[in-house]
Structure 1
Amino acid sequence: MDLVVDYPAENVAFIGLFMMDKALQGKGAGSRIVSECAYFLKRNGYKKLRLAIDKGNPQSKAFWLKNGFAFTGEEYPNGEFSYLPMERIL
């Protein structure tokens, strides 16, 4: 997990990259990491956890929705990709 604190604002953390080994996918390890990260951030005064997904990645969308994230309503086109910000209130 690539985590940037106080970005894009104070008391907000941003997950820049989150990858799991194929052998661990679907076993709850990713959700556990996200849950522990959110708990740690909340205990340390953070209010939101944000990230952006590739609009064309349904697996990513399902994972983050399952882990309490919601779309912000923003969209950022970048060439052939489009990024959708999501956030979880801590």
Structure 2
Amino acid sequence: MEQILNEILKKLDTLQNDVTSLKQGQDEIKKEVVEINRKTTVIFDQTANLTEFTTSSTEALKRIEKELNTIETVTAKNCFDITHLKAIK
């Protein structure tokens, strides 16, 4: 009878150790999930910033392109005027 009780106690100790190990593993997993959530938030914020940067860069490039087109048009007109003035001389 005593031997059976000792075996039961050993098994209970083993179960208790297993439960303790599982709890530690669960705590580690919880910490990792918190870290993953933090990283996801950082990635989300960076993506939002990059999207905003891309949008503003695209708008700036469009303005520059429009200004260059205007400069090209004015330059072409000036060249025409210069040629015309030279012809008059």
Higher-helix-fraction structure? 2
> For this structure pair, what is the TM-score category when the shorter chain's length is used for normalisation?
under 0.3
Higher-strand-fraction structure? 1
TM norm structure 2: 0.23
TM norm structure 1: 0.23
Q: With CA pairs under 8 Å and 6+ residues apart, which has the higher RCO, 1 or 2? A: 1
